[in-house]
Amino acid sequence: MRIPLIARLAVLSLIVPLVACASQPTPVAPPVEDSGLGVGTPEPVETTGPEGEAPPPGLATPEPTPAECIPMVEAAIQEYPMPSGSHPHDVAPARDGAVWYTAQHQGALGWLDPITGETHHIPLGAASAPHGVIVGPDGAPWITDSGLNAIVRVDPETQVVEIFPLPESAGNANLNTAVFDRDGVLWFTGQNGVYGRLRPETGEMEVFSAPRGRGPYGITTTPDGSIYYASLAGSYVGHVDPGTGAPTVLEPPTANQGARRVWSDSRGRIWVSEWNAGQVALYDPSDDSWREWRLPGDRPRAYAVYVDDTDMVWLSDFGGNALVRFDPGSEGFEVFPLPSSAAQVRQLLGRPGEVWGAESGTDKLVVIRTHSC
């Protein structure tokens, strides 16, 4: 059964003051290692009914309904508690207004109804440890599962789980992130030194060895169909030829900066979160140029980067326990402190007027709303 588009929340729980900061020079912060383990006090919530019960409302994916959005005077931030022990890693807004997330420590794909706060977990299989999730052209969530060493698709209506295992020759890839190109091919990264592509229609999969070995992490596609990935351990950005799969190494100005995630803006420029250096970087393919800006604070640690529909650049900052918005026009930052301490937002994704993050350290999802729809 299909349901109408989930409406926006009528009341926003918290208006957060902004901290405006001018752009800063680009000294390199001392490298820091990510333990990969979240800490914090989880808040338990009840999930849906017993095994075998019909899927909860909202798991269907109707086409989105156009809505008129009005800019808000101040951005608003809200957190949603997930089931205890979920360790949500990545998050992806669904077509119907709900939100998908990977419950990494429970081997499941999670679903959140932002109206009621209701959650539902779909088990992905024994040994599952899902990392990334995106919504594909088919409206379904697609997952990079490091535990299964496979790409996983979940049917949003039937909850049927479809698994595309990597070839044995690829070894344990430690799968991280995925993106669809404009031809419907899914590209993915594995931190143990690979990247690859899957053609969903045929199930054909190819895995490539990355330059410098271990490190491929975030990945993005540009409006013209180009593919770029970030290498955390290799401290470079890889530009992949979508035809041959061959990579070209691009070197950011700061050595050992720890390029972690990448995102394209509407002009095809590549934004990079530099974990070790606490910076955001911009690569412009039109003239092969780089620029970098250090995030505000004493010891920023830029984890995720996401460019919204207005070409504003968002980052998650572990060091400042905040989400940060960077305006490429003014080259200024706005800081949104997170309500929970040690939130550890791993990934950012959004839809018009909303930026969503997964708080792995607190078992919560967080959203910043910049428009009222």
Q: Which amino acid is located at 28 in the chain?
A: V
Those residues whose C-beta lies under 8 Å from the C-beta of residue 285, and which sit 6 or more positions away, are 222, 226, 239, 268, 269, 270
Q: Is 371 helix (H, G, I), strand (E, B) or coil?
A: strand
Beta strand segments in 265-308, E: 270-274, 279-284, 289-294, 302-307
Q: Which amino acid is located at 221 in the chain?
A: T
| Domains in the chain: ranges and CATH | 37-46+67-372 (2.130.10.10)
Those residues whose C-beta lies under 8 Å from the C-beta of residue 68, and which sit 6 or more positions away, are 373
* Residue whose tokens read 């290799």: 234
Those residues whose C-beta lies under 8 Å from the C-beta of residue 157, and which sit 6 or more positions away, are 55, 59, 60, 61
81-135 per-position pLDDT tens digit: 999 999 999 999 999 999 999 999 999 999 999 999 999 999 999 999 999 999 9
Length of the chain in terms of residues written: 373
Global pTM reads 0.83
Those residues whose C-beta lies under 8 Å from the C-beta of residue 373, and which sit 6 or more positions away, are 8, 67, 68, 69, 70, 352, 353
- Neighbour tally for 262: CB within 10 Å: 27
Q: Which amino acid is located at 215 in the chain?
A: G
pLDDT of residue 373: 54
pLDDT (tens place) for every residue of the chain, 373 residues total: 333 333 333 333 333 334 444 344 333 333 333 333 232 333 333 333 333 444 444 454 434 333 455 555 568 999 999 999 999 999 999 999 999 999 999 999 999 999 999 999 999 999 999 999 999 999 999 999 999 999 999 999 999 999 999 999 999 999 999 999 999 999 999 999 999 999 999 999 999 999 999 999 999 999 999 999 999 999 999 999 999 999 999 999 999 999 999 999 999 999 999 999 999 999 999 999 999 999 999 999 999 999 999 999 999 999 999 999 999 999 999 999 999 999 999 999 999 999 999 999 999 999 999 975 5
